[in-house]
Copies of this chain bind each other. A is one copy, B any other.
Amino acid sequence: MTTPHEGADPDSPEGRGGAAAAIPAAPPGGGRGALDRRRVLGAAIAFIDQEGLNALTMRRLGAYLGVEAMALYRYVPGRENLLDGVVESVIDELYGDPDVHLSASHGWQDYLQRLAHGVRRIALAHPEVFPLVASRPPAAPWVRPPLRSLRWVESFLTALIDSGFTEEAAVAAYRAYSSFLLGHLLLEVSQKGVKISPEDQPEGVPATAAATDLSEYPTVVRLESLLSLDESAAEFEEALENLLERLEIVLAEGRTPRRGDRRR
């Protein structure tokens, strides 16, 4: 039953060779060798992955590394910066993913597909970290999560423009693509997270306590099993393909978005 059905989710951590796990994240006391920024960030990611974001404090992260909290300040200016570094590191795993390319050498659809799945892999590999990617303010307003680095924005835009998109269409595509990725992945990840994480409530809820009178919501009750189904992978694919189709039309028509409005 561990294998969902026909094909396991190719983006799930167990479902592949771990290409998205660039930083092996040395075990707690393991590193002994000198600390350095990369190690601190790696430990922070590992720590968040296993303990949750709320559990991350400077003191605990220090302990996790077998060191006092203040030692971390030699490599990280402060907590905020640590979190920024975590976000950056996690997104940087994209560079280590052999299935994601920086340029659209096999067509822009292939490029966008691979990029989307690469990001999804990261999100699923670090469900506790991903919300940070969304909530940390980006460098510039037009660097949108989850593609938070200039390098990827550059890559994205040139890939589309080189494939024939107008500049306006490429920018519009970038926005639509970001929204799509962020919305889907944030919901998928939070859904997964709820299954266990939220302040573990050990006492088995007596099946009547938590539910606040469902009698008012008959449809919800009736569809509960449907609602509880996890079709994330299929939905992601579906929405992604729809987006690509939409972009294909834009490309074919060679105009900005849709709509024939003269812009002043």
Contacts and interface: CB of A to CB of B under 8 A. Distances in A.
Contacts of A194: 137-138, 140-141
A208 to B, nearest CB: 15
Nearest to A230: B141
Interface stretch (A32-40, A68-76, A117-125, A213-221): A213-221
Interface residues of A, number: 74
A24 interface: no
Contacts of A174: 227
B190 A137 contact: yes
Chain A binding site: helix, strand, loop or mixed by DSSP? helix
A106 interface: no
A228 B141 CA distance: 7
A59 interface: no
Given A142-B228, A186-B182, A239-B176, A217 B134 contact: no
Contacts of A263: 7, 237
A168 to B, nearest CB: 6
Nearest to A222: B167
A191 B144 contact: yes
A243 to B, nearest CB: 9
A159 to B, nearest CB: 10
Given A135-B131, A217-B150, A226 B168 contact: yes
B239 A154 contact: no
Interface in A221-264: 222-224, 226-229, 231, 234-235, 237-239, 242, 246, 257-259, 262-264
